[in-house]
């Protein structure tokens, strides 16, 4: 196959850079490792009926009064928001709790980015927890791809870029890559993989921020590959399991 007959793969390192990329008719992978997309993968794999991502706390609370048996959850700056019942930890959503229940979720970074990519061909959620499932889906669908890092309040972060690099490294051969942010992410992955994802990320600002809240177990969980081998895909405003 000639290089330019392959679909395109790019990496957007921050929502603040999203305007530089084309999202129409592109498969966008939303990446928020610590912790929104990790929580989404865990909740859906553990039996949540769907995840409803919302941009504001007020909307989350209101929908919780309307949708039967729902769980309202989310965070701002890493902490559970007053008025919501649960936080943004994948460990909070075992099957015994979340099965057959809708999860209404709002977060500082991940759900914000998800609402910014209207017009995409598909929107899916990526994390280390479903790394191989995401890669296999992107190979199968064969469309242009944008790996969108949620970052931290528009500032670059290490963990989302590391995941993007893992995807580029695994499936980049099947895509046309003319994107230096994708190359940089791949280089980060290559230099990090031997020491393990968590070992590298312990020196990141977001790890330190969340560790100050006692969330080390969350981050260990979020950096474990393929614990939840599903693809969360957005359909009619709800994230469900791709089948």
pLDDT 10s digits, 4-50: 689 999 999 999 999 999 999 999 999 999 999 999 999 999 999 99
Tokens 């609370």: give the residue: 61
103 within some domain:
yes
- Helix axis angle for 158-171 and 131-141, nearest 10°, is 50
73 within some domain:
yes
Any idea what the CATH number is for the domain that residue 186 is in? 3.90.1560.10
* pLDDT tens figures, 179-209: 999 999 999 999 887 668 888 898 898 889 8
Q: How far is it, in rounded angstroms, from Cα 58 to Cα 229?
A: 32
**Which has the minimum average pLDDT: 74-78, 123-127, 170-174, 205-209?**
74-78
Which DSSP state fits 228? S
* pLDDT tens figures, 98-133: 999 999 998 877 788 898 998 899 999 999 999 999
242 within some domain:
no
Longest dimension (CA), the chain: 54
19 within some domain:
yes
170 within some domain:
yes
**pLDDT at residue 51 tops 80:** yes
243 within some domain:
no
Q: How far is it, in rounded angstroms, from Cα 60 to Cα 64?
A: 6
Q: How far is it, in rounded angstroms, from Cα 97 to Cα 56?
A: 24
Residue 161 has φ and ψ, to the nearest 5°, of -65, -35
**pLDDT at residue 1, as a whole number:** 46
Higher pLDDT, 125 or 84: 125
> Which of these, 99, 112, 107, lies nearest to 44 by C-alpha position?
99
90 within some domain:
yes
Q: What pTM was computed for the model?
A: 0.94
Q: Domain limits at 202?
A: 3-237
Number of folded domains in the chain?
Answer: 1
Task: State the Cα angle at 27 between 21 and 31, rounded to 5°.
Answer: 80
221 within some domain:
yes
Q: What does the mean pLDDT of the chain come to?
A: 93
């Amino acid at each position: 196959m000639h290089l330019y007959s392959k679909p395109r793969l790019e990496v957007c390192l921050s929502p603040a850079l999203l305007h530089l990329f084309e999202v129409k008719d592109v498969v966008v992978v939303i990446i928020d490792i610590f912790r929104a997309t990790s929580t989404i993968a865990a909740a859906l794999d553990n039996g949540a009926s769907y995840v409803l991502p919302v941009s504001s706390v007020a909307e989350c609370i209101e929908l919780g009064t309307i949708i039967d048996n729902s769980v309202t959850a989310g965070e701002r700056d890493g902490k559970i928001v007053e008025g919501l019942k649960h936080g943004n930890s994948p460990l909070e959503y075992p099957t015994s709790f979340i099965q057959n229940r809708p999860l209404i979720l709002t977060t500082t970074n991940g759900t914000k980015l998800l609402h910014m990519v209207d017009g995409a061909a598909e929107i899916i959620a990526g994390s280390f927890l479903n790394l191989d499932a995401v890669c296999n889906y992107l190979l199968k669908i064969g469309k242009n791809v944008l790996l969108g890092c949620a970052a931290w309040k528009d500032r670059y972060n290490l963990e989302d870029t590391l995941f993007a690099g893992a995807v580029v490294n695994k499936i980049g051969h099947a895509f046309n890559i003319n994107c230096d942010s994708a190359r940089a992410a791949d280089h980060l992955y290559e230099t990090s993989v031997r020491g393990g994802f968590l070992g590298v990320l312990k020196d990141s600002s977001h790890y330190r921020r969340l560790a100050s809240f006692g969330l080390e177990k969350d981050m260990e969980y979020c950096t474990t590959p393929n614990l939840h081998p599903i693809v969360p895909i957005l359909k009619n405003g709800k994230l469900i399991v791709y089948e």
